[in-house]
Amino acid sequence: MIVLAKHKIAIIHIPKCAGTNLKQALYALNNENIEIIEGIKVIDGIKYDTAHLTNNILACKFPDLFEDIKKYKTYAIIRNPEERFFSAINQYSKTQLKKPIYRLSKKEKKDLEMHIINRINSDDNAIEMIHFKKQIEFIEYKESNLVQNIIRIESIGKLESYIEKILDCKIFENRHHKNETLAYKNKFIAEILIENKLIEYAKSKVKSKTIKGIAKKIFLKKNENSELTEDTLAFVKNFYKEDFNLWNNAE
């Protein structure tokens, strides 16, 4: 969550919706009027990721912050639920299985999807499941919108321009927030670049954005939501139906 208390503005960070990109840009300002709330906090023996607090958790466990936010002008970025779900699975694979999704076989991918769905259906609130929470849980509180301004990820430039205006400085120039989940075009390319540590070397030595852009087009592809099984897509459409409504009605 990003709080600009002086301006009475709060930007709610919904997981997998480009909030990290915003935070990274604002960190660079080193501005004492910008508070970036994140980190793990343990309350009553339960771990909470303070960067990603649903409104129910915010109201119950962080009441002072909740009361402040109720008085602020609030914003949130939302994402197509199918794209977001795929991105969340990709992150889960990397952090929990220690294996990027492009390295999974079709069976492993299917098993992972079913594992995630079973955890969601069991109302698993473990900290690593925060990326699968419904977006509406970060928007609404007791059936009313706590967040006043809901912006699609493709329109994030509007929010960036507004932040630059109130802070009176250029922050997001030449930044892009596609938030795409990318993969290597084939396993052979992945093995060559990663196993030989060529990708780390290139990242540290190559500074040209043009060259990096060309390399991305040559070696990477966008991981499509269609790579999810039909059963998983059906689950997403049903479970996140309120998020689809948010998405369809957002700016």
pLDDT bucket at 200, cuts 50 / 70 / 90? low
Q: Alpha-carbon distance 177 to 47, whole Å?
A: 29
All structural domains of the chain with their residue ranges = 2-181+223-249, 182-222
Please name the fold of domain 2-181+223-249. Rossmann fold (3.40.50)
Q: At residue 88, does pLDDT exceed 60?
A: yes
Which residues have CB under 8 Å from 3's CB, separation 6+? 9, 10, 11, 34, 35, 36, 37, 68, 69, 72
Q: At residue 190, does pLDDT exceed 90?
A: no
DSSP string covering 20-61: HHHHHHHHTT--TT-EE--SEEEETTEEEETTS--HHHHHHH
pLDDT (mean) for 121-142: 94
pLDDT (mean) for 161-181: 73
Identify the residue with better confidence: 189 or 40: 40
How do residues 49-75 score in pLDDT, each as one tens digit?
Answer: 999 999 999 999 999 999 999 999 999
Side chain identity at residue 97, one-letter code: L
> Do strands 149-152 and 73-78 pair parallel, antiparallel, or not at all (unpaired)?
parallel
pLDDT bucket at 91, cuts 50 / 70 / 90? very high
How many CA atoms, within 13 angstroms, populate the side-chain half-sphere of residue 199? 12
Q: Are 250 and 152 in contact (CB under 8 A)?
A: yes
Q: Alpha-carbon distance 227 to 225, whole Å?
A: 5
DSSP string covering 71-136: HSEEEEEE--HHHHHHHHHHHHHHHHSSS-GGGS-HHHHHHHHHHHHHHHHTT---GGGGGGS-TH
The pLDDT of residue 129 is 95
pLDDT bucket at 223, cuts 50 / 70 / 90? low
Cα separation values, 240 from 48, 79, 140, Å: 22, 12, 14
What tokens does 178 get?
């596609």
